[in-house]
Chains A and B, each alone.
Chain A
Amino acid sequence: MALHLTPRDSGAITVVDASGRITLGDGSAMLRKTIRQLVEEAHCKIVLNLADVDYIDSSGIGELVSAYTAVRSKGGELKLLHLTKKVHDLLQITKLFTVFEVFSDEASAVRSFK
């Protein structure tokens, strides 16, 4: 299933709704392009909503990390919202829960930005 990403504004925060798979090829490339574009447009407070993403491979994990560092290099933050169980487990075994801030409700995620 191809990855679809839909950015929307929530005040000063950009929420990106993702659905599909973040895997080697189009999925990873789509995420990279979307995040880079948001950063270029100075949208550097980003919540990535992964509620409809139930599959990420190592390439997708790498792209999430790349997005995180790209946003932070511009003084922004990238936070994750609504992880499915598989994605949750994947981030846990790769220790990326110690890197990403993860939220289970959108209002809290949006409020958490400084």
Chain B
Amino acid sequence: MAPDTKHLEVTLETQVESVNLAEEMCLRLAEAVGFGEDECYRIGMSVREGVINAFHYGNKEKPEKKIHLAVDLTPEKMVIHVADEGTGFKLSDVPDPLAEENLLSTSGRGIFLMRAFMDEFEVVPARTGGAEIVMSKRLPNLGSPQSNGSHGSAPHREA
């Protein structure tokens, strides 16, 4: 780790309450480093979705498994890691929630939202054997690259 990187790491229980806890913790960090309201919302939502993914799909809601949340604050960006103790997954196996046949699916939008709301997003094998989501947001004082949150700007039916 670079000497000018600040690192925070917590181990969370596999329970619904961990989702709110992780979101709240990362929101406070994001506010502290100067992200504005909209970016804080996107970061908070992404952390929430990452932990929901670990809770539900990775750890299969098994209470004996843990969720590992880490945040690195570098001079350039906030990097968030969410690792589970499941069996891992490939991004290429995740169905596209914008495909016509998936629009009425009741699940499967978490990965899409994280990709839409963060500047960088990837899934790597975790040391725990499961999947590790790694996502980052460029710090606000450095300027923001063009948002990738404009997926699917479908026309809407508003009466």
Contacts and interface: CB of A to CB of B under 8 A. Distances in A.
Interface of A: 23-25, 57-59, 61-63, 65-66, 68-69, 86, 90-104, 108-109, 112
Contact of A103 (B41, B109, B110, B158): B158
B90 interface: no
A24 B159 contact: no
Given A57-B52, A92-B153, A94-B97, A109 B103 contact: no
Interface stretch (B122-130, B135-143, B144-152): B144-152
A61 B103 CA distance: 11
A57 B56 CA distance: 14
Interface in B35-69: 41, 45, 48-49, 52
Contacts of B116: 93
Given A58-B110, A94-B97, A65 B104 contact: yes
Contacts of B103: 95-96, 98-99
Contacts of A104: 158-159
Interface of B: 16, 19, 41, 45, 48-49, 52, 97-98, 103-107, 109-110, 112-113, 116, 149-159
Given A63-B106, A69-B104, A95 B158 contact: no
A48 to B, nearest CB: 15
Contacts of A109: 159
B155 A58 contact: no
Contacts of B97: 94
Given A62-B106, A101-B159, A112-B159, A93 B48 contact: no
A24 B49 CA distance: 10
Contacts of A62: 105-107, 109
Contacts of B106: 62-63, 65-66, 69
Given A58-B110, A86-B41, A109-B159, A24 B19 contact: yes
Contact of B149 (A57, A93, A97, A112): A93
Contact of B152 (A65, A86, A92, A103): A92
Contacts of A86: 41
